[in-house]
Amino acid sequence: MTRPISQLALATALAATTFAPAAANTTREDSTRVTTSAAAPATVTEIKPPVAEKRAHTYTHHGITIEDPYDWLYDKSYPVVDDEDVLAHVKAENAYFEAKMEAQAPLTEALFTEMRARIKEDDSTVPQKDGDYIYWSEFEEGAQYRKHWRKPAAGGEAQLLIDENQLAEGLEYFRLGAASISQNGRFLAFSTDTSGGERYTARIKDLQTGELLPDELTNLRGGLTWVANDTALVYGPSTEEWRTLEARLHVIGTPVEQDVTLYKEEDQSFGVGAGLSAQEDWLIIATGDNETSEVRLVPAANPTAEPILVKARNKGVEYSVDVRDGELWVLTNDDHINFRLAKAKLETPGDWQTVIAGSDEFYLTEFDLFKDFFVTEGRLGGLDQIQLRSYADPANITPITFPEASYTAGLSDNPEYAVSKLRLSYQSMVTPSTVYDYDVATGGLTTLKTQEIPSGYDASLYTTQRLTVQARDGTMVPVSIVMRKDRAEILKKAGIEGPGPLHLYAYGAYGYAIPPGFSTTRLSLVDRGFAYAIAHIRGGDDLGRRWYLQGKLFERANTFNDFVDAGRGLIAQGFTAEGMVTASGGSAGGELMGAIINQDPAQYGAIVAHVPFVDVLNTMLNKDLPLTPGEWQEWGNPITDKAAFAYMLSYSPYDQVAARDYPPLMVTAGLNDPRVTYWEPAKWVAKLREVKTDDNLLLLKTNMGAGHGGQSGRWNSLKETAEEFAFILWQMGMAGER
């Protein structure tokens, strides 16, 4: 939509953490009081797990009273966390984590070294033309962050746009957010987060002089969109509750206090965003929650003009729009669960005429308009599809095909409207990330770049397959799996006879599908004899929109059951054995981890839960938390709905902790995390320590200067992954094996 620095989306993806995107809440031994002395250094044999004090606290809703003795770990001054008892406990947990992991430091370092050896340090993205310039980004050898460059398409010297390393110098945390070049190519607007709290500050750089303009936009989220002939920016300020309820216009060179609100949303559960149409002549202002949309259009040259409402919101109806040659294009689920594509005249924007009807088989997820053709993307049988279509005959499809039976593919960086080639991305569980150019006229694919693995990678050593496992209600759940062809020999050398360990991963929420993609870090488990599986469980939209709906609200338990049953099915098929399944998930996937160990703890040998959304009921009852109102459509509203309260209580991992044996567990949190607040994992771990009946290791690590995605910087993030894998190998008795 808005003109980005070319390849910025790819850079963001490469910097992402090992678990699925931030999505949950989008957006837990002796009861003596913890003191700061608990954090004092001690030897591995001496240090004992921190014991959180139990303080009487109850609440009642719908006639049901809940005891919550660890509520005090929620610092009520949040987002400021300055309660001394809370900080002492969090630091004590960190000290315990460091002490227990100290013996695994050599393994962690070895894993980090081999993971780093698989990464090309001086790497760059494939350059892409956008207007008068060619854009790319690159890592220099040893650098934590990227540099972003451009040069004139007609020839000339390269120009450094942003050096993230320079911006991050001296900071514990840094992340580049939005970055947008003005249409005339002179100005760069960009935003940065220096705490992990996802409250960004935007600046504007004059690319002719290299100077930063005095304009500064603080406490914002979302994109930065150039309008009014490059004289103004549209942005989304954040409320104190971390909600984006406005689209605001800033005229360059004027005081921020004079900024104009173009649209303000009154519904606290909705969020507002803005971008440009395909031809960049319309500003599109969208508002919505997880199930309902509403869109307005304003001329980009005159953003304060009276907006055109496309169609008033109708609960449960989602739609997104684009404009081409004065004609409105609409993707909507108004008459089919898997969406249809429609058109309308701007004079009658709500009169939608079907172009591509909804289909039970094909799940239509995206459309992109170009000058001479348009592209639809979706999934068929759970596999990605890219289809070229003509405006004259939209039913005539030219599919872009790929040779592997299981893969993930899609449009990549295509910033220009008039193109003869499309930039594509492709990978599978055995094929490294590949960038193609697709020639629209000939149908030819040209490989521009294949992910380089400096330490070496031989795809022929690995095998991947996509199989199905029957869940308890008869539903067939797809599972993608990769392993070494010589896995049996590797395990035999490690002294393991019979089925070996298997790592199972999933997310299962918000309709977010986990594609069967490639991972260099994953090889550190697979090369040691692990099978690695992705369970495409309900709650994601891997098999269509209905697949997602069958894992939300009052069908949420399907998500947990699918994961448990997928593991049991893989055990039955001989891929692994009981107690040899390890699992990981983050955010809503961390909620999944909490639910499965409450349901079937014996299956798992080790669990890693990243920033886990485990205190579900309390969070959904707290309307003042940043994301809660917008989440009621996903999880239910326990404040007003007794049935939702009871159902949520039945699966909320924190509330369902019981006196039973649990597998070894590693939990992470971020003190500045606005999505899954730090106290959720802290309360969960405190309760587990109190009631679990085993002696298995339970660790909590809280990043004191980071948020939902963990530490920033590619090496810092990689070190955390190495730490996670060291924990898994240690708990599976494979710490010394290679």
CATH code for the domain of 547: 3.40.50.1820
Alpha-helical segments (H) within 122-247: 164-168
pLDDT in tens, 181-203: 999 999 999 999 998 888 899 99
Res 239: pLDDT: 87
> Which residues constitute the domain of residue 582?
12-27+32-116+457-731
Alpha-helical segments (H) within 25-104: 84-101
Q: Kindly state whether residue 688 falls inside one of the protein's structural domains.
A: yes
109 CB-near residues (< 8 Å, 6+ apart): 722
pLDDT in tens, 473-512: 999 999 999 999 999 999 999 888 889 999 999 999 999 9
Q: Kindly state whether residue 565 falls inside one of the protein's structural domains.
A: yes
Counted domains in the chain: 1
Res 707: pLDDT: 66
Res 710: pLDDT: 67
- Residue 653 sits at φ, ψ, to 5 deg, of -55, -40
Q: Kindly state whether residue 277 falls inside one of the protein's structural domains.
A: no
Task: Decide: 408 and 429 in contact? Cβ < 8 Å.
Answer: no
Q: Kindly state whether residue 432 falls inside one of the protein's structural domains.
A: no
Tokens at residue 258, please?
A: 């004079």
Task: Give the per-residue SS3 of 403-428.
Answer: CCCCCEEEECCCCCCCCCEEEEEEEC
Q: Cα separation of 150 and 140, whole Å?
A: 16
Which residues are tagged catalytic? 587, 673, 708
The parts of the chain modelled with pLDDT lower than 70 are: 1-45, 706-707, 709-710, 737-738
Q: Cα separation of 186 and 133, whole Å?
A: 11
Burial (Cβ within 10 Å: 0-12, 13-18, ≥19) of residue 307: middle
Long-range CB contact pairs, 10-14, < 8 A, 24+: 10/125, 10/137, 10/412, 10/413, 10/425, 11/125, 11/137, 11/146, 11/148, 11/176, 12/176, 14/714
Q: Kindly state whether residue 682 falls inside one of the protein's structural domains.
A: yes
Res 16: pLDDT: 28
Q: Kindly state whether residue 401 falls inside one of the protein's structural domains.
A: no
